[in-house]
């Protein structure tokens, strides 16, 4: 890694609050996005849907490329995190959803609604597993009173015609002059329609694992990626957590079936020879003994490269 890149990441860590500072106001209220160049922004890094605090909210990520914001997953809190990342919601054009667990899609409808209220004029494309049309249809239904009134009363375009939803399969989702986006089925039983995403942005590659058990095909999918954003689980802490629950054995089996142990995350990153491994979607999410150093140490045994412990609003240059 070059000195300037190292310095950028150091500054990003400071800006993100990773060093204990609050998110500074300079990141807020810029339009359409803060003019900081192409970047990856982690919006929500918590695993699971339980809401604890604003500091770490459920899954959501942002790529800003050529000044265009692209959202990957829309867990609860994504709208406020986008505002704090300086994004003008009416500039949104693409939203990608890895799977239909609520910690990844709960705020999809509301994010679209909020983009509409912010002045969305151009179509917005949602790429998500089968079920997204059903989900949005019922979201619009449940909010039709407000939407219909605002169309009539405020002269707004109909949000229902501005949103274009695409139910995805494995393979290439988008190819255009700016980017290529592809999807890989990951391992998330009992959900069968769950995906990892790869964004090719010029020379840069950013890969999101989604929620997945150890997924060997990710090695070639993420090969040489500039950033692999991978979910991560601490096996010992999961053991401790389930001991406290009445449904321990069922819960443990469920968690282990669709998440990846830290050591295996490192293995994937090493075999894929990624330039930076970004940890997110921490499981369990609420164990105070799991410090940044613990996460780094548990991945370090299998991955000697650059490990970044993800924090909400952390910015990483592309
Ligand atoms: Zn999840
Ligand atoms: Zn999930």
Q: Are 267 and 303 in contact (CB under 8 A)?
A: yes
- Element holding 163 (H helix, E strand): strand 163-167
From ligand 1's centre to the CA of 103, what distance in Å? 5
pLDDT for 13 beyond 80: no
**Which among 317, 70, 33 has a CA at the least distance from the CA of 179?**
70
Tens digits of per-residue pLDDT, 210-253? 999 999 999 999 999 999 999 999 999 999 988 888 888 888 99
The range of the structural domain enclosing residue 274 comes to 3-317
pLDDT for 6 beyond 70: no
Among the bound ligands, the one closest to the CA of 283: 1
Q: Are strands 94-96 and 171-175 parallel, antiparallel or unpaired?
A: unpaired
CB neighbours of residue 95 within 10 Å: 26
From ligand 1's centre to the CA of 47, what distance in Å? 5
From ligand 2's centre to the CA of 213, what distance in Å? 10
Please list all protein residues whose beta carbon sits less than 5 angstroms from ligand 2, which is an ion: 101, 211
Among the bound ligands, the one closest to the CA of 103: 1
- In whole numbers, what is the pLDDT of the chain averaged over residues? 90
Domain with residue 294: its CATH number is 3.60.15.10
Q: What residues contact residue 211 under an 8 Å CB cut-off, 6+ apart?
A: 98, 99, 101, 104, 186, 188, 194, 231, 258, 259, 281
From ligand 2's centre to the CA of 104, what distance in Å? 7
Return the SS3 of 169.
Answer: coil
**Can you tell me the distance from the alpha carbon of 83 to that of 136, in angstroms, rounded to the nearest whole number?**
23
Return the SS3 of 97.
Answer: coil
In the chain, the N- to C-terminal Cα span, in Å, equals: 13
Q: Is 75 exposed, middle or buried (0-12, 13-18, 19+ CB in 10 A)?
A: buried
Of the pLDDT bands very low, low, confident and very high (cuts 50, 70, 90), residue 15 is: very low
Q: In the chain, how many domains are there? A: 1
From ligand 2's centre to the CA of 105, what distance in Å? 10
């Amino acid at each position: 890694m070059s000195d300037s890149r190292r310095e950028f990441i150091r500054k990003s860590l400071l800006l993100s609050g990773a060093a204990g500072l609050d998110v500074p106001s300079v990141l807020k209220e810029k339009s359409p996005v803060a003019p900081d160049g192409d970047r990856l922004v982690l919006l929500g890094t918590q695993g699971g849907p339980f809401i604890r605090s604003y500091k770490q909210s459920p899954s959501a990520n942002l790529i800003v490329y050529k000044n265009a914001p692209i959202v990957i997953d829309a867990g609860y809190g994504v709208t406020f995190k986008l505002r704090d990342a300086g994004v003008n919601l009416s500039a949104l054009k693409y939203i990608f959803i890895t799977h239909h667990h609520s910690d990844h899609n709960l705020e999809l409808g509301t994010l679209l609604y909020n983009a509409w209220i912010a002045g969305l004029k151009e179509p917005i494309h949602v790429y998500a597993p089968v079920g997204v049309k059903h989900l949005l249809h019922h979201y619009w239904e449940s909010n039709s009173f407000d939407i219909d009134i605002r169309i009539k009363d405020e002269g707004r375009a109909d949000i229902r015609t501005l949103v274009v939803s695409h139910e995805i399969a494995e393979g290439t989702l988008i190819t255009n002059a700016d980017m290529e986006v592809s999807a890989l089925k990951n391992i998330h039983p009992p959900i069968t329609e769950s995906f990892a995403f790869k964004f090719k942005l010029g020379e840069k590659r950013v890969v999101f694992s989604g929620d997945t058990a150890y997924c060997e095909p990710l090695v070639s999918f993420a090969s040489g990626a500039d950033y692999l954003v991978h979910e991560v689980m601490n096996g010992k802490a999961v053991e401790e957590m389930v001991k406290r629950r009445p449904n321990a054995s069922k819960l443990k089996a469920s968690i282990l079936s669709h998440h990846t142990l830290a050591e295996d995350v490192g293995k994937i990153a090493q075999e894929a020879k990624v330039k930076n491994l970004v940890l997110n979607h921490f499981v369990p999410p609420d164990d105070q003994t799991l410090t940044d150093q613990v996460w780094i140490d548990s991945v370090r045994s299998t991955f000697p490269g650059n490990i970044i412990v993800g924090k909400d609003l952390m910015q990483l240059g592309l």
